[in-house]
Chain A
Amino acid sequence: MFFYYLDLAWRSIKKTPMLSALMIMAISIGIGITITTLNIYKMMSTNPAGDKSSQLFAVQLWSQGPDAWDDFDPQITYQDGFNLLKSDIPRLQTPMFRTGGAVQTEDPSFLPVLQSRVRVTNNDFFPLFGLEFQYGQAWDDSVDKTARYEVVLTNELNKTLFAGENSVGKTIYFNAKPYQVVGVLKPWAPSPNYYDLNNGAFGNVDTLFVPYSLAPIEEYGSWGNTNGWSHESINTYAQRLTSEKHWTQFWVQLDTPEQAAEYRQWVRQYIEQQKQLGRFSSPKADVQLSDVDQWLAINKVVPEDNKVLVGLSALFLIVCLVNMLGLLLSKFLRRAPEIGVRRAIGASQGQIFAQHMVEVSMMGLFGGLLGLAWAWGSLALLTNKFQLEASLTHLDASMWLIAPIIAILAAIVAGIYPAWRVCTTNPSVYLKSQ
């Protein structure tokens, strides 16, 4: 029966090609717009931390004075980061900040390249965020205690410097100082790069990793944000390290809610301790732990514009549906005499209804597929015109399923009333006039 209905549906679509095309067009444009905006939204709201999302926490401290910022700053001071490391509650933990500099190899003909995304961090960084190594490994624990000049390269930088060969043991120069390569990462590009959202969430991936223990020695400048809440005169790097400026990020891994509660307690004790030293003078002084989902929300990674667009395109889809509903109604009612004959010969109301639903779903499917093509086209157009990150505009695999499903559901919703109208019409009315 189903295949018979499919056949009937196909014939009916062919019989009124203009009207059918109009309907499929209407629904496909609605789907096209919706999928375009939904796709960008989905890509932006991706949580790249995956399974670990609820175990990774960004640590924020309200260390500013009473009349300063009225919220937790996304970053903390160097001295607090240094002190927080003394807790043995988190399984993995690391302070970090962004720096930059010129990179050279031992090959004198290689012109120095500027790397503006260099991460200064502990070796916990790699297991914490699930980075995998292609060659070698992270620097040893001992490096985090006693600084040595060792680095980890991303796959991409390794291609630039060493044509992708195993470079473990080789020397690179960072700001004219020699460092030994200990590890090369597998290709890695979290989108959004959630662990440091200070300078844009998309398309800026770190390329080089250097030990945090080298910061006081090499005096790496911060290439990220530095926020201050009081005027401090800072002339030396040592003064910067002991200042109240917020310029480092701190992440911990806490496996269970109990562990998180225990850690929060520990940090609160630390804050009490610091209060006696005259720091954390605000009555609101506290700690805030945010897992990755909360962190992405706090940092407003999905721009409001995108939410507005998704909302408006949903309304747009409704307009397309109403449009299709009107067209279907006129099409089905025009066919009422034919239906009258079928009813008179013995087709039940249910069968007529089912037949029309199959026809509508078929149109929905066509509309969905065409809509997918529109979405693909408009995403390609937008990528081209606005040089958007490819990670944001490639058509997500899930859309291949979502688009036809939305389209068919939408078509069915639009088709119910017209199909019901036509199957409840009294056949005698039409038989009489023939």
Chain B
Amino acid sequence: MLHIKPIFSSLLHSKSGPLLLLLQIVLSVAIVANASFIIVERLSLMARESGIVENEVFDFSIYHFDKSTDLVVQDKRDLELLRAIPGVIDVAPSSMAPLSGGGWSSNFTLGPEERAKSTPNTGMYMSDEHFIDSLGLKLVEGRNFYPQEITTELLEDGGKMIVTKAFVDKVWPNDSALGKSVYMGAQHFVVIGVVERLQTAWVDNSNVEFSSVLSVNYPADYKRYLVRAKASDIARLKEVIPEILHKEYPSRVIEGFTTISERRIEAYRDHELMATVLTMMVVLLLLITSLGVTGMVMFNIQRRTKQIGTRRALGAKKRDIISYFLVENYLLCLLGGTLGVLLAIQLGQQLMSLYSLPMLALSYPLLTVVGLFVVTTLAVYLPARKAAKISPATATRTV
């Protein structure tokens, strides 16, 4: 059925055409495999959850430029006002906004002495007992802060702390975290609760899942607030909040209203850009390669019109003609695919050694070859069907 031998010898006979196509297939497999690997890697980064009800939470900042302002009193008053606005579900002060790319982080130590073992770099949200509800976090162990535990400065004897499960798994893998202490110099914080998930401000950092919430609502001239509200109320609140706060106390700038969803888009913009450009490349590459295949088949059909007619006259079915071209293509794809996989692995290793890209998984070049078989089948089948229609009479006409 599969007449490989004549096909093979005819391929060998006209070297340059098939050779070029082979080269193109090899290069395409190498590029497409690596590009799609990077695309999938970026998409999986972007798919990570922040632990926050992103479309219901927004943040904004207040900047007090009048030095005479009593920041502690003003903060308390502002929070009361904000929480009373209809449509606001909850509000928390915070030292930083999630996914924003800027904020506080620290390496805590596990003991008071300077040389004690330290934790990985951990994002620090300094807030109050409203933080968990304002972000819609899920408490999986322990409890929330009590209002009386919130201080306005870092006390010598420290305070309370809520951490993420990822942090606990890293620092105390076989133990309950509740009641454990971490230190910043002499100050220490006691873990009282664990949330399932909360990302820091830096999505490209490997420590992005290590967050802590400290029971400190410290006064600052530039301060951020996190507000939870129904998604449909957010646009209105962005208008209302500056009005109400300015009416209460005018000497300040209120700005930077951003939902966490918007922060997500901003945070992953570069990855999305990379994924988009690479997708463009993969699609165009497949298009060009299949056009190349179609072109070669069309050229061959023209050259072999007589042969095809003769074969048909000698009893070959239409199916046989089509399968001739398909088998020819599969031979090329098989050889090109094999070489392409090898080149893809090479290219992947080069990229890995030059840049901070992870190692190429073997499934990508293999899947690319499978994809190549599918796409080129189409690219061959369409012109080959035309070839099969060549009437046996054409063969006899010019002989």
A330 touches B63 (CB 8 A): no
Q: Quick check: is A347 within 8 A (CB to CB) of the other chain?
A: no
A22 touches B291 (CB 8 A): yes
B38 touches A308 (CB 8 A): yes
B66 touches A176 (CB 8 A): yes
Segment 60-119 of A: residues with Cβ below 8 Å from B:
100-102, 112-114
Q: A100 to B28: give the CA distance in the assembly, Å.
A: 51
B16 touches A329 (CB 8 A): yes
Complex interface bits, A378-393 against B, C-beta within 8 A gives 1, otherwise 0: 1000100111100000
| CB nearest neighbor in B for A67 | B115
Given contacts A101-B63, A312-B31, A315-B31, contact A307 B288 (CB under 8 A): no
B221 touches A326 (CB 8 A): no
A323 touches B31 (CB 8 A): no
Q: A304 to B42: give the CA distance in the assembly, Å.
A: 14
B20 touches A175 (CB 8 A): no
Interface size on B, residues (CB 8 A): 53
Residues of B within 8 A of A305 (CB): 270, 274
Q: Quick check: is A363 within 8 A (CB to CB) of the other chain?
A: no
Main secondary structure of the interface of B (DSSP, over half): helix
Q: Quick check: is B255 within 8 A (CB to CB) of the other chain?
A: yes
Q: A34 to B184: give the CA distance in the assembly, Å.
A: 50
Given contacts A36-B277, A102-B253, contact A326 B31 (CB under 8 A): no
Among B16, B38, B65, B285, point to the contact of A175 (Cβ < 8 A).
Answer: B65
Residues of B within 8 A of A221 (CB): 221-222
Residues of B within 8 A of A19 (CB): 295
Q: A330 to B27: give the CA distance in the assembly, Å.
A: 21
Question: Shortest beta-carbon distance, A63 to chain B, in Å?
Answer: 18
Residues of B within 8 A of A308 (CB): 38, 351, 355, 357
Given contacts A22-B295, A33-B281, A176-B67, contact A319 B251 (CB under 8 A): no
B288 touches A330 (CB 8 A): no
Q: Quick check: is A29 within 8 A (CB to CB) of the other chain?
A: yes
Residues of B within 8 A of A341 (CB): none
B274 touches A313 (CB 8 A): no
Q: Quick check: is A260 within 8 A (CB to CB) of the other chain?
A: no
A303 touches B280 (CB 8 A): no
Q: A142 to B288: give the CA distance in the assembly, Å.
A: 68
| CB nearest neighbor in A for B291 | A22
Given contacts A175-B67, A176-B67, A319-B285, contact A382 B276 (CB under 8 A): yes
| CB nearest neighbor in A for B27 | A319
Q: A326 to B25: give the CA distance in the assembly, Å.
A: 13
Complex interface bits, A354-386 against B, C-beta within 8 A gives 1, otherwise 0: 000000000000000000000000100010011
Complex interface bits, A381-423 against B, C-beta within 8 A gives 1, otherwise 0: 0100111100000000000000000000000000001000100
Which of A322, A385, A417 is most buried by chain B, counting CB atoms within 10 A of its CB? A322
Complex interface bits, B41-65 against A, C-beta within 8 A gives 1, otherwise 0: 0000000000000000000000101
Question: Shortest beta-carbon distance, A83 to chain B, in Å?
Answer: 27
Q: A360 to B371: give the CA distance in the assembly, Å.
A: 33
Q: Quick check: is A320 within 8 A (CB to CB) of the other chain?
A: yes
Q: A373 to B253: give the CA distance in the assembly, Å.
A: 45
Given contacts A320-B288, A322-B27, contact A312 B63 (CB under 8 A): no
Main secondary structure of the interface of A (DSSP, over half): helix
Q: A105 to B184: give the CA distance in the assembly, Å.
A: 43
Segment 276-313 of B: residues with Cβ below 8 Å from A:
276-278, 280-281, 284-285, 288-289, 291-292, 295-296, 299, 302
Q: Quick check: is B24 within 8 A (CB to CB) of the other chain?
A: yes
Q: Quick check: is B273 within 8 A (CB to CB) of the other chain?
A: yes
| CB nearest neighbor in B for A113 | B253
A312 touches B280 (CB 8 A): no
Question: Shortest beta-carbon distance, A100 to chain B, in Å?
Answer: 8
Q: Quick check: is B356 within 8 A (CB to CB) of the other chain?
A: yes
Q: A382 to B252: give the CA distance in the assembly, Å.
A: 37
Q: A75 to B65: give the CA distance in the assembly, Å.
A: 27
Residues of A within 8 A of B67 (CB): 175-176
Complex interface bits, A134-170 against B, C-beta within 8 A gives 1, otherwise 0: 0000000000000000000000000000000000000
Residues of B within 8 A of A322 (CB): 20, 23-24, 27, 292
Among A36, A199, A316, A329, point to the contact of B20 (Cβ < 8 A).
Answer: A329
Q: A406 to B299: give the CA distance in the assembly, Å.
A: 28
A315 touches B30 (CB 8 A): yes
Q: A108 to B355: give the CA distance in the assembly, Å.
A: 54
| CB nearest neighbor in A for B115 | A67
Given contacts A307-B355, A308-B355, A319-B27, contact A378 B280 (CB under 8 A): yes
Q: A385 to B30: give the CA distance in the assembly, Å.
A: 28
Residues of A within 8 A of B276 (CB): 382, 385-386
Residues of B within 8 A of A230 (CB): 114
| CB nearest neighbor in A for B269 | A386
Residues of A within 8 A of B289 (CB): 319, 323
Q: A378 to B281: give the CA distance in the assembly, Å.
A: 12
| CB nearest neighbor in A for B28 | A319
Question: Shortest beta-carbon distance, B69 to chain A, in Å?
Answer: 10
Given contacts A22-B291, A102-B253, A231-B185, contact A329 B17 (CB under 8 A): yes
Q: A102 to B252: give the CA distance in the assembly, Å.
A: 8
Given contacts A33-B280, A231-B184, A385-B276, contact A312 B34 (CB under 8 A): yes
Q: A316 to B66: give the CA distance in the assembly, Å.
A: 58
Among A101, A315, A378, A388, point to the contact of B65 (Cβ < 8 A).
Answer: A101
Q: Quick check: is B102 within 8 A (CB to CB) of the other chain?
A: yes
Question: Shortest beta-carbon distance, A320 to chain B, in Å?
Answer: 6
Question: Shortest beta-carbon distance, B163 to chain A, in Å?
Answer: 20
Q: Quick check: is A37 within 8 A (CB to CB) of the other chain?
A: yes
| CB nearest neighbor in A for B343 | A315
B277 touches A382 (CB 8 A): yes
Segment 171-215 of A: residues with Cβ below 8 Å from B:
175-176, 199
B356 touches A304 (CB 8 A): yes
Complex interface bits, B226-260 against A, C-beta within 8 A gives 1, otherwise 0: 00000000000000000000000001110100000
Complex interface bits, A312-337 against B, C-beta within 8 A gives 1, otherwise 0: 11011011101101110110001000
Which of B35, B252, B295 is most buried by chain A, counting CB atoms within 10 A of its CB? B295
Q: A228 to B285: give the CA distance in the assembly, Å.
A: 49
Q: Quick check: is B79 within 8 A (CB to CB) of the other chain?
A: no
Given contacts A113-B253, A221-B221, A382-B276, contact A327 B295 (CB under 8 A): yes
Known contacts A22-B291, A22-B295; 6 further A-B pairs (Cβ under 8 A): A29-B284, A29-B288, A100-B222, A318-B27, A329-B20, A386-B273
Interchain residue pairs A-B with the least CB separation, the first 3: A231-B185, A102-B65, A326-B20
12 pairs, CB–CB < 8 Å, chain A vs chain B? A22-B291, A22-B295, A37-B277, A231-B114, A231-B186, A304-B357, A308-B357, A312-B31, A316-B31, A319-B285, A388-B273, A417-B16
